[in-house]
Chain A
Amino acid sequence: MANPYNADAPKPDARTLMRSTLIAAAAALVLLVTVVLPAEYGIDPTRIGRVLGLTQMGEIKVRLAREAAADQAADDAAAEAEAKSDTTSPTPPDTTRR
């Protein structure tokens, strides 16, 4: 195979290409701002996400992720403190921690 890139495939002219690219970019931007960013991150500059009921989803997701990260940090700190105290006064192993 000489050229893996299919040169025979139909290609748009420069004007069509630019128009198509702009359409794709505009469609992506509209989708991002009105649907994806509200639903994923609670970011809703147009207020459309709120109307669609998606902004709440994003807000809850981010809040839960924050809480999970905080829990993890607290767990890690507790485990570290426990490991330190273990060297002086052994305590029974904590079975509640995953």
Chain B
Amino acid sequence: MRSFPPRPLATSALVACLMILLLLVISDEALAHGVTAGDKGYLQEVSGRLLIPFAYLGAKHMVTGYDHLLFLLGVIFFLYKLRDVGLYVTLFAIGHSLTLITGVLTGVRASAFLIDAVIGLSVAYKALDNLGAFKTWFGFQPDARAATLIFGFFHGFGLATKILDYEVSPEGLLPNLIAFNVGVELGQLLALSAILIAMSYWRLTPSFAKRAHSANVAILAAGFVLMGYQLVGYFVYDFL
């Protein structure tokens, strides 16, 4: 890594933008949480224990969901140590595993629009947190670990609602759900690794501190857009 010639900032920024664009293109088909008809059809056809397919779908959901990715980007923005990243991944995993499994098994569902609006809120929250807004405005720093856990609950609840919509066969449901969870973890690690590599390059540039501010403002705006998009959707699609 050290043998790389120093890159001008523009190159690094371009690489980061291209990666985000690529992710957006990939996820275009599956609009955030959207269901590709293919996956839904498949899940309604099959029954029984299908660990690898469910793990794949869990991973796909994370890697192609730009709202999840934005949240992750916000979370690791100022995390430098791999150990810290690991802690956050674990907290988030505990959060979403709990609500995913209990949500599906109890059949408790919420509007996908409202859950996605909360996920948009989590993106905005994390961007504000990175900007130090809570300390500046309210004089205290909320525990980032608690926030990650709580938003993990919501992300998992959203996943549960999605799986309930899939009308998955009850046969082999629990092992399939656990496999789905493992897949979510794997997909998350994959996405995190990619984001972390891009971030590491970016941090090497001298103007990172200055651009970090603008980047978090952009993430904040994206969070607001997601919230508005999903909240309006809740009212437009009231016939669903």
Contacts and interface: CB of A to CB of B under 8 A. Distances in A.
Contact of A66 (B81, B133, B225, B239): B239
A32 B225 contact: yes
B233 A40 contact: yes
B212 A10 contact: yes
Interface string A27-40: 11101100011001
B42 interface: no
Contacts of B7: none
A17 B87 contact: no
A81 to B, nearest CB: 21
A51 interface: no
Contact of B79 (A4, A12, A27): A4
Interface residues of B, number: 41
A74 interface: no
A28 B224 contact: yes
Interface residues of A, number: 31
A27 B209 contact: no
A87 to B, nearest CB: 24
Contacts of B212: 9-10
B217 A32 contact: no
* Among B88, B221, B223, B233, residue most surrounded by chain A Cβ atoms (within 10 Å): B221
Contacts of A14: 136-137
B83 A10 contact: no
B119 to A, nearest CB: 15
8 closest residue pairs by CB, A with B? A28-B224, A11-B132, A6-B78, A24-B221, A24-B220, A32-B228, A41-B236, A9-B78
Given A28-B224, A40-B236, 19 more contacts: A1-B84, A4-B84, A9-B212, A16-B213, A17-B131, A17-B133, A20-B131, A21-B133, A21-B217, A24-B220, A24-B221, A28-B221, A29-B228, A31-B221, A37-B229, A37-B232, A41-B236, A62-B237, A65-B240
